[in-house]
Amino acid sequence: MKQVKTTNFGDRFFSFFTFCAAMVVLVSLAGIFISLIFESWESLSRFGFFNFIFTDDWNPVKEVFGAAIPLVGTFITTILALLIAIPISLGIAVFITEICPSKLKAPLSIAIELLAAIPSIIYGMWGLFTFAPIMSEYIEPGLQFVFGDIPFIGPIFQGTPLGIDVLTASIVLSIMIIPFISSIARDTILLTPQVLKESAYSIGTTEWEVIKDVILPYSKFGIYGGIIIALGRALGETMAVAFVLGNRHAFPTSFFDATSTITVTLANEFTEADSNLYMSSLYLLSLLLFVISFIVLSFAKFIVHKGSKKWNG
């Protein structure tokens, strides 16, 4: 687009100001990236990037640091949280927009937005003091009882259900991201043109078929957008998970195993890092999270953009 040249001082000042404001974003992004590289350099040159990623040892005493376990922990909790949160959020959004009586709409929407406003440390504390005991006493033994003996999936329900584990952390995380997905899903569902729904009804569809085949496909890309935001949230979420995941440096083999994520390791160990290499390795972990978030989010955005262009014109 061609810029319109203006001679008015106020206009020029204003456009200069907005330009500076926009530059702040780029400069801080670049600044953070550069300082992460700088700080993690010692660890990076010692272990090498790929070696760091694939090493499953995290041993400050022997000064061996590898990211494999926190990486896997991050992916598992994020994916599980999304798997739990997506169907629930869609249910909430569809209920609010299409099914619930109009008197309930506003209170429900507000409740969900309040859920998003709760600081994550409160989720963490609630998870530790209220939810984890419930999990270990009722839910996890129940799951173990039902699924524990089934071939193939049985093993992932083994172990002592202590409540501080992958499953609890993923559920707490999912509760945190439900508001993001459901409120964005609600907004995009509301954008479905009334006449599109009516034309579906007009060929003899039921309410459920209209939701499933017209409303959800139509708002699909908006919903993906909400999922992306939630994904970003879940990848980087620290406090809610730190309390209920355990920070154990071992791969989880069951839902009831404690493990660690990148953020949990960072939160727990920054104060303990007593050597330069230890500190630098923690920085390398953050760099890794930075890069992963960046790649995942840009890739997801790209897909959404391409898809919505193709199908929604």
Partner 1 sequence: MPGNKNIKLYSKNLSFFYGNNQAVFDVSIEIPQHSIVAMIGPSGCGKTTFLRCFNRMHDLYPGNRYQGEIFFDNQNILSKNIDVTLLRSKIGMVFQKPTPFPMSISDNISYGLKLNGIKNKTEIKDRVESALRSSALWKEVKDRLKLPATGLSGGQQQRLVIARALAVEPQVMLFDEPTSALDPISTSKIEELAAELKKKVTIIIVTHNMQQAARISDYTAFMYMGKLIEYDETNVMFTNPQEKLSEDYITGRFG
Minimum distance, C-beta of residue 74 to partner 1, in the bound complex (Å): 34
55, 158, 205, 293: which one binds partner 1 (CB under 8 A): 205
Minimum distance, C-beta of residue 189 to partner 1, in the bound complex (Å): 13
Cα 78 from chain centroid? 6
Binding span for partner 1 by CB under 8 A among 58-66, 82-90, 207-215, 234-242: 207-215
Q: Is residue 187 a contact point for partner 1 (CB under 8 A)? A: no
Judged by beta carbon, residue 158 or residue 205, the one nearer partner 1 is 205
Judged by beta carbon, residue 106 or residue 134, the one nearer partner 1 is 106
Question: Cα separation of 113 and 104, whole Å?
Answer: 14
- Whether residue 167 contacts residue 132, with contact meaning beta carbons closer than 8 Å, is answered with no
Q: How many residues bind partner 1 (CB under 8 A)?
A: 24
Minimum distance, C-beta of residue 202 to partner 1, in the bound complex (Å): 4
31, 48, 155, 217: which one binds partner 1 (CB under 8 A): 217
| Per-residue x/- track, 83-122, partner 1 (CB under 8 A) | -------------------x--------------------
Judged by beta carbon, residue 40 or residue 97, the one nearer partner 1 is 97
Q: Is residue 313 a contact point for partner 1 (CB under 8 A)? A: yes
Q: Is residue 271 a contact point for partner 1 (CB under 8 A)? A: no
Minimum distance, C-beta of residue 186 to partner 1, in the bound complex (Å): 18
41, 220, 273, 296: which one binds partner 1 (CB under 8 A): 220
Q: Is residue 2 a contact point for partner 1 (CB under 8 A)? A: no
Q: Is residue 206 a contact point for partner 1 (CB under 8 A)? A: yes
Minimum distance, C-beta of residue 98 to partner 1, in the bound complex (Å): 11
Q: Which residues bind partner 1 (CB under 8 A)?
A: 102, 193, 195-206, 209, 213-214, 217-218, 220, 310-313
